[in-house]
Chains A and B, each alone.
Chain A
């Protein structure tokens, strides 16, 4: 068995007094797509913020390729090869597409796919059509694509993708799904948070279900889809 790319053990996290995550354990193996599912407020975004170091109030162990990163500041975690795509499309609206991409640039990493502006624009043809457009003039879907592409410029081992389908028109969601599968085929590993079961089912190999900060289910995506009790209790309807 290969060592996990990301191994989280006993992760607790809190905002001020309020604890959000309780003793969380999860693993992501190379070239997997893993989904963290759960309702709003279940702790999905908090998990990502804790992993990325944005949430200071945390304990437990986080290992990326066997190396502990839980004590590092945000930028060091990013430099170890953890990429983060936050949920609210945070592009730099003052800068153009190419300038945005350039700010994501990090040196190539051994064992991770290497991206350049050219290879990325191949994968994102709609961005290739507007290299000098400022971020403020882009549509929501285009901004979403640019945020993903900018993260890939860092040649990450693993990308944290926070609720990519939230607030996006269904047609764009379909385009995103196609794109994520394409990236997976190129060897990328993704940890994704999602509320939409059918979207996750189309992309992910495995899933964790979160409820009020606790992992209440883990298994393959097929097992989750088949488990009506879990879906009913913690996901839709």
Chain B
């Protein structure tokens, strides 16, 4: 076991990291408070801060003034870039439904990743040690870098500064007032636009500062954006959304748990933090310091038009489409068969997300969790146990459902952005586990060597299996959507008070929906695993979730056939783009997401209906 001096040293390390976490999380909380935007790109500003600081501090004289001046300058530059982003992009989506805001900020994540890759390259970079703090202090015989000790003080200093700003200055009180009611603040003669821009500057400045301060400790790399933003979300959820002090306490908690977790459970640190978050949420659903529940904006994602049962003509059209798809292999190349099989599988995945998002208004930003559970379950059953494909698919459906059972239980206690953050955190934990538990999951290399039965080995065979799967899944999901259960799920979103007043248990119905959705996502994961013959950690990754979200978005959030059309349109384009422009793929996708949300938020089907539909006015 470890002796007391090691433990103490780890405590100090944890506190040092807590400062970094606090800077990022407080910036996130400030921006969310005023603009109500969940800024997924917040981690990108942190990453940008790190890279910019690498360049600037190496250009500055290597004195301690040079280093600290460079750090501050880097944070300022990041803050200014933040301002620019706010003025050009985010300002346009303040009144959009939250799923669109999340997608736009994720579009920014992709753009930043691609640009940073372009400017600084793919390699990890470590900064030289900090002039003046190069040494290590000896505490109880353990040597701790002086720089880490210095960082411990940064968190409390900024906590004090932020408290002073928000409670003792008129400008800070304006921020608090705007957090509650921006319209009223404008009616009192305050320029909201400036206020928002300045708050965004402050928030991204803090993120950039945290990133810049991190470079002497940790090498800058292209994964640091998602890692930190997920941790910041966890902190904000633990601390309570409205509270800077809560963010500080939660940052200390997470920082310290991180530090000790590395000693005792090196493979499962993220699980430890997750357990803490769950415990906090069970006993204090609004977080440690969050006394108030932030009211939801009305009208988020509301489906104004009721879902009508399909007409005879619609049914006929559907049958014709299925018939055409059945005949397609006669004329299509095997390449097209492969692509179309993927379209069908992804349509199942997108459909499962659409069920939660469009019917129940639940923004599942970690939907990849169920997809990955399905693909890994299939792969493990096939390669470790050597069982046939049918068993693998069954195991995948059950795993996806079990994921929905476990995560849904927590998620249905939360609402809106909290829920989105929590679902992302769950997916990220599985992602991390799939990388860290090398002996079980194969780590970064994933699991390869899934084989299909002989009769499914041809592309045509698999095409028909996928077509069958998507047809049956879509049909079942539609039955569910029109059934009393589907209506009850929708009722819970439309009016929670009325649902409760008619004896419905809204949380339980949502929970059941998580399970149903998880099962279908698991099925999609398994089909994809057998299609590729392999599974990778990225099945759990944010980009997998985003793919599904974009498909639903492209098809149209409010239309029942959205996921199918979206999967088709998106996947065909994506395949072509990846083939031809692999290096700029993320940049193009990011810009596409941003442009699409700003330009055609109702999606393809929505735009079509809007133009030709007869809906009631």
Whether the complex brings A and B within 8 Å at their CB atoms is answered yes
Cβ–Cβ < 8 Å partners of A130 in chain B? none
Verify B181–A75 contact, CB threshold 8 A: no
How many chain A residues touch B (Cβ–Cβ < 8 Å)?
A: 23
Min CB–CB distance B294 → chain A (angstroms):
12
**CB 8 Å contact bits of A75-106 with B (1 = contact, 0 = none):** 10011000010100010111100010011101
Query: Which of B140-148, B189-197, B388-396, B591-599 lines the interface with chain A?
Result: B189-197
Min CB–CB distance B194 → chain A (angstroms):
9
- Any B CB within 8 A of the CB of A74: yes
With A and B bound together, what is the CA distance between A192 and B185 in angstroms? 21
Verify B187–A86 contact, CB threshold 8 A: yes
Cβ–Cβ < 8 Å partners of A52 in chain B? 187
**CB 8 Å contact bits of B170-209 with A (1 = contact, 0 = none):** 1001101101110111111111110000000000000000
- Any A CB within 8 A of the CB of B617: yes
Verify B173–A106 contact, CB threshold 8 A: no
Verify B187–A78 contact, CB threshold 8 A: yes
Cβ–Cβ < 8 Å partners of A102 in chain B? 170, 173
Verify A95–B177 contact, CB threshold 8 A: yes
- Any B CB within 8 A of the CB of A150: yes
* B contact patch SS: helix
Verify B173–A95 contact, CB threshold 8 A: yes
Cβ–Cβ < 8 Å partners of B183 in chain A? 54, 74, 90
Cβ–Cβ < 8 Å partners of B193 in chain A? 73
- Any B CB within 8 A of the CB of A17: yes
Return the chain B residue nearest A147 by Cβ. Answer: B184
Verify A154–B181 contact, CB threshold 8 A: no
Verify A104–B188 contact, CB threshold 8 A: yes
With A and B bound together, what is the CA distance between A66 and B328 in angstroms? 71
Verify A99–B173 contact, CB threshold 8 A: yes
Verify A75–B190 contact, CB threshold 8 A: yes
Cβ–Cβ < 8 Å partners of B185 in chain A? 103
Verify A90–B184 contact, CB threshold 8 A: yes
Cβ–Cβ < 8 Å partners of A79 in chain B? 189
Q: Which of A79, A94, A154 has the most CB of B within 10 A?
A: A94
Verify A103–B188 contact, CB threshold 8 A: yes
Min CB–CB distance A143 → chain B (angstroms):
12
Min CB–CB distance A185 → chain B (angstroms):
25
Verify B173–A86 contact, CB threshold 8 A: no
Verify B188–A94 contact, CB threshold 8 A: no
With A and B bound together, what is the CA distance between A25 and B191 in angstroms? 29
Min CB–CB distance A233 → chain B (angstroms):
28
> Could you say which of B177, B180, B181, B186 contacts A78, with CB atoms under 8 Å apart?
B186
A–B Cβ pairs within 8 angstroms, 18 of them: A17-B617, A54-B186, A54-B187, A74-B187, A74-B192, A75-B186, A75-B190, A78-B187, A78-B188, A78-B189, A78-B190, A79-B189, A86-B187, A90-B184, A94-B180, A95-B173, A99-B173, A103-B188
